[in-house]
Amino acid sequence: MTTGPNKFLDDFARLMTDMAGTAQSMRGEVETAFRHQAEKFLSGMDLVQREEFDAVREMAVKAREENDALAKRIDELEAKLAEKTSK
């Protein structure tokens, strides 16, 4: 059995170890609660999933490319028509 200053230091070290474990456990619970609340908040908003956003973005890029190609083709056809009507 330890007596004197060593016992005090042993008890103090044990107390600090227990407090560190408790603090770590509390941290985990706070993180879990925060994550749950954040997910609840975000699910309540009408946010788009990243995959859906990327899919729509790709469709928009493709549509813009097709639109540009069609506009170029129309310009070429109008130029040919103007050339034929001017003759």
Q: What is the pLDDT of residues 12-63, one digit of tens each?
A: 888 999 898 899 999 999 999 999 999 888 888 888 889 999 999 999 999 9
Q: Are 58 and 82 part of one and the same domain?
A: yes
Give the span between the Cα atoms of 68 and 78, in whole angstroms: 15
Q: Are 3 and 39 part of one and the same domain?
A: yes
pTM: 0.47
Which of 6-10, 22-26, 73-77 has maximum average pLDDT? Answer: 73-77
Q: Are 53 and 17 part of one and the same domain?
A: no
> Rounded to whole angstroms, what are the CA distances from 82 to 1, 14, 74, 76?
109, 94, 12, 10
Residue range of the domain that includes 2:
1-46
Structural domain count, the chain: 2
Q: Are 36 and 5 part of one and the same domain?
A: yes
> Rounded to whole angstroms, what are the CA distances from 46 to 38, 60, 71?
14, 21, 36
